[in-house]
Amino acid sequence: MCESWCLCVIVTALITVPVSHCRTAEEWKSRVIYQLLTDRFGPSGPVPVSPCADLRSYCGGTFRGIVQRLDYIHDLGANAIWISPFVENTDGGFHGYWAKDMYSVNPHMGTKQELMDLVHACHQRDIWVMMDVVANHMGPPMGSRYNFTGYVPFNETWHYHDYCVISDWLNQTEVELCRLSTLPDLNQSVPYVRDALLAWIHDVTAEYGFDGYRVDTAVEVQKWFWPEFTASAGVFLMGEANNGDRTCYTGGYQGPLPSVLNFPLYWAMRRAFNEGQSMTQINKSLALQRKCFKDTSVLGLFVDNHDFPRFLNLSDDTALLRNALTYVMFGQGIPIIYYGTEQDFHGGNDPHNRESLWPCYNQTSSTYLFVKGMLAMRHRLAVYFPLNNQVELYADDHLMVFTRGALSQILVAITNVGQNANITRTLTNLPFKDKTTFINVDHANDTLVVQNASFTISLQHGYPKVYVLEFAVNTTQSDTSRRGNRSHDVITICALWAWAVANVVTFVGSLLVH
Ligand SMILES: *[C@@H]1O[C@H](CO)[C@@H](O)[C@H](O)[C@H]1NC(C)=O
Ligand SMILES: *[C@@H]1O[C@H](CO)[C@@H](O)[C@H](O)[C@H]1NC(C)=O
Ligand SMILES: *[C@@H]1O[C@H](CO)[C@@H](O)[C@H](O)[C@H]1NC(C)=O
Ligand SMILES: *[C@@H]1O[C@H](CO)[C@@H](O)[C@H](O)[C@H]1NC(C)=O
Ligand SMILES: *[C@@H]1O[C@H](CO)[C@@H](O)[C@H](O)[C@H]1NC(C)=O
Ligand SMILES: *[C@@H]1O[C@H](CO)[C@@H](O)[C@H](O)[C@H]1NC(C)=O
Ligand SMILES: *[C@@H]1O[C@H](CO)[C@@H](O)[C@H](O)[C@H]1NC(C)=O
Ligand SMILES: *[C@@H]1O[C@H](CO)[C@@H](O)[C@H](O)[C@H]1NC(C)=O
Ligand SMILES: *[C@@H]1O[C@H](CO)[C@@H](O)[C@H](O)[C@H]1NC(C)=O
Ligand SMILES: *[C@@H]1O[C@H](CO)[C@@H](O)[C@H](O)[C@H]1NC(C)=O
Ligand SMILES: *[C@@H]1O[C@H](CO)[C@@H](O)[C@H](O)[C@H]1NC(C)=O
């Protein structure tokens, strides 16, 4: 007779506990991020008829161009954007990572007011803005290594570490003190530099109202700097902590920063989907991540970005892409979709992976529709995702099956067999009672019914599948078709109630903190 109340208490406890100690990171768990480069997403005004021809310099994308095309992002199902750095850059810095004047907005992309308008327009649609920021370096100097003429506010040689270039990436001292290629490396130990960077991020949050930051080159800065920077920023930060495929090394930057991009998963998926290795690569990586990260549920998940060849460049197979994207959208973490992936872009290394999105804002292309459908499902089942619970039920060379939700309400099957093959497996020793039924979210006639702790699952044409536990189906709909299934109603009411309590706790927590 404990069923409903016990369940409510348990679910509430699970949702509430993590909420109270880290409010902003918790809030970001409801987000799906669309990553874009401002210069490449869209120009002000009409859509140009042809794509940008020279990807090595400015293509013409602007803040206003993003505002004009927010429907494209919103309709896809993303509710946050990560945009490239906004500060004025040295010549050719279309990507934004070559700061020249930290206090000015890159005039190629618009004005300060237009950037504010962008944030405002996003917030009106409940789209959050994650700004990309760099505290490690400035843009490459002209003429001499030490020519910082016109750099603001770091125009003196003593603002930087002594000259050297990173060559041994396993020597952490070198990674922190030397230059990444030609980029002058700021010395955060100089009080002027440290204070200026901390004041800058504080003022940027106050001025523009960004909801979070993506922090570039996090491993190239000494760790002690990041907690100060995080405190000064006042919002959620997600760092780029990539230096080879080293899970615990990357994990060491969560703590100094609230979150980092999940590079270990990126490399594991690359092996499983692009390099013909086993799907257990993902399984193994997850086990290691749980040891090496403080909280795997707030890491950023991605299949590609502006620094790596696009997924379809490595493997020209949209079925494989769909499987990898399905993990990104349903696995534990915050999903990130790199612009153009939804249009099957397949550019190689930088700058080929930084195509202009124009002229193809096709909202009926098959991958756009696939992502849109999956994200709609994710939002509909949103109540199950903030919980830090993912269970890998099964993994072998070609198939991985995992569940989400305290009661395994969502079951996801992904495969690396590719578009020309089917795969069928019988899973045994499942932790479910007989007659437990999972329903395919796309085809209600495709079900998995547990018998003797076992069921057989088939994926056709290498495509992934997502199933929902029978009584969890339709839980978020307010129609009356649910009558007659009591356990189903209990779950729905309980989940919503727990969510409401969690929000109250968060709110009270924020009052105590401030
Ligand atoms: C220093 O850089 C500026 C542009 O940033 C350039 O105009 C100037 O010629 C450079 N000076 C030297 C000595 O190279
Ligand atoms: C750096 O900028 C400051 C403030 O504009 C200026 O006073 C100083 O002379 C500049 N230093 C150099 C080396 O140009
Ligand atoms: C960085 O600045 C600190 C404090 O001024 C100084 O002691 C140190 O030598 C500088 N490091 C380098 C590599 O320039
Ligand atoms: C690491 O790099 C630093 C700075 O370049 C250098 O002084 C040190 O000798 C290097 N350590 C090793 C073990 O190579
Ligand atoms: C990968 O990218 C390179 C450079 O953009 C391009 O030449 C090549 O055709 C691409 N390969 C695929 C499979 O798209
Ligand atoms: C969008 O993509 C769909 C499916 O590939 C295609 O049929 C349609 O012609 C495309 N529309 C445009 C405007 O390119
Ligand atoms: C991988 O998944 C299987 C379930 O198929 C599990 O038994 C095994 O412990 C997992 N391995 C690791 C390293 O997590
Ligand atoms: C995969 O399954 C589909 C539908 O069941 C079937 O039409 C197709 O021939 C199968 N493909 C292979 C390679 O067995
Ligand atoms: C299940 O339904 C889909 C349409 O939703 C249909 O295409 C498919 O053939 C059906 N499969 C079976 C096994 O009935
Ligand atoms: C149930 O499964 C177990 C092992 O998985 C097997 O030994 C047993 O015979 C099965 N029982 C039935 C009724 O199929
Ligand atoms: C979910 O609800 C819709 C609309 O009420 C209904 O058509 C559909 O069959 C339901 N799905 C399942 C799996 O019960």
| Ligand 5 binding pocket mutation candidate from 312, 346, 350, 355 (most atoms within 8 A of CB) | 346
The Å distance, Cα 143 to ligand 1 centre, comes to: 6
The answer to whether 292 and 263 are in contact (CB under 8 A) is no
Model confidence, pTM: 0.89
Kindly give the distance from the C-alpha atom of residue 88 to the centroid of ligand 1, in angstroms, as a whole number.
17
Q: Could you state, in order of their start, the residue ranges of all structural domains in the chain?
A: 4-380, 393-483
* Model pLDDT for residues 318-344, shown as the tens digit of each residue: 999 999 999 999 999 999 999 999 999
Instruction: Determine whether 450 is exposed, middle or buried from the number of CB atoms within 10 Å of its CB (0-12, 13-18, 19+).
Output: middle
Instruction: Assess contact for 488 and 5: CB atoms under 8 A.
Output: no
Instruction: Give the C-alpha separation, 61 to 74, whole Å.
Output: 19
Q: Is the pLDDT of residue 495 over 60?
A: no
pLDDT (0 to 100) of residue 7: 52
Task: Say which of 220, 240, 342, 355 is annotated catalytic.
Answer: 240
Q: Which residue has the higher pLDDT, 501 or 211?
A: 211
At 387, the pLDDT band (50, 70, 90 cuts) reads: low
Each residue of 383-393: b (16+ CB within 10 Å) or e? bbbbbebbeeb
For residue 473, how far is its CA from the centre of ligand 11 (angstroms)?
8
Instruction: Please tell me whether 307 is known to bind a ligand.
Output: yes
Under CATH, which number does the domain 393-483 receive? 2.60.40.1180
3-state SS record for 2-44:
CHHHHHHHHHHHHHHHHHHHCHHHHHHCCCCEEEECHHHHCCC
pLDDT value at position 273?
98
Residue bearing the CA closest to ligand 9, atom 7: 443
75 counts as catalytic = no
Q: Are 89 and 109 in contact (CB under 8 A)?
A: no
Strand partners of residue 67: none
Residues within a 6 A CB radius of ligand 11: 439, 444, 473-474, 479, 481
Q: Whose CA is nearest to atom 10 of ligand 9?
A: 445
Element (H, E) at 214: strand 212-215
Residue 434 CA to residue 431 CA, distance in Å, equals: 10
Measured from CB, residues less than 6 Å from any atom of ligand 2 are: 155-156
For ligand 1, atom 14, name the residue with the nearest CA. 143
Same fold, 4-380 and 393-483: no
21-70 tens-digit pLDDT: 334 799 999 999 999 999 999 999 999 999 999 999 999 999 999 999 99
> Given ligand 9 and candidates 439, 446, 456, which is best to mutate, with the most ligand atoms within 8 Å of its CB?
446
| Protein residue with least CA distance to atom 12, ligand 1 | 143
Mean pLDDT in residue range 391-398? 97
List Cα–Cα distances, 39 to 99, 106, 111, in angstroms: 15, 10, 14
Residue 389 has a pLDDT of 85
In contact, 163 and 177? CB cutoff 8 Å: no
What's the pLDDT band for 492 if we cut at 50, 70, 90? Answer: very low
What integer is the mean pLDDT of 410-437?
97
What is d(CA 168, CA 409) in angstroms, rounded to the nearest whole number?
47
Q: Pick the atom of ligand 2 nearest to 153's CA.
A: 2
State the amino acid at position 97 in one-letter form.
Answer: Y
CB of 173 closer than 6 A to ligand 4? Answer: yes
**Which residue's alpha carbon is at the smallest distance from atom 12 of ligand 10?**
452
Cα–Cα distance between 296 and 281 in angstroms, integer?
17
Contacts of 172 (CB under 8 A, 6+ apart): 219
- Report whether 354 belongs to an annotated binding site: yes
Other CB atoms within a 10 A radius of the CB of residue 129 amount to: 22
Q: What ligand 8 atom has the least distance to the C-alpha of 422?
A: 1
Residues 433 and 404: beta-carbon distance below 8 Å: no
Q: Would you identify the CATH topology of the domain 4-380?
A: TIM Barrel (3.20.20)
How many angstroms does the Cα of residue 413 sit away from the middle of ligand 7? 15
Mean pLDDT of 298-312: 98
Do residues 410 and 469 lie in contact, with contact meaning Cβ atoms separated by under 8 Å?
yes
DSSP 53: S
Name residue 359's amino acid. Answer: P
Our measurement of the distance from residue 297's CA atom to the centroid of its chain's CA atoms, rounded to an integer in Å, reads 11
Is there a catalytic annotation at residue 88? no
Query: Residues for the chain: how many in total?
Result: 514
422 Cα to the center of ligand 8, angstroms: 6
Task: Tell me which ligand sits closest to the C-alpha of residue 440.
Answer: 11
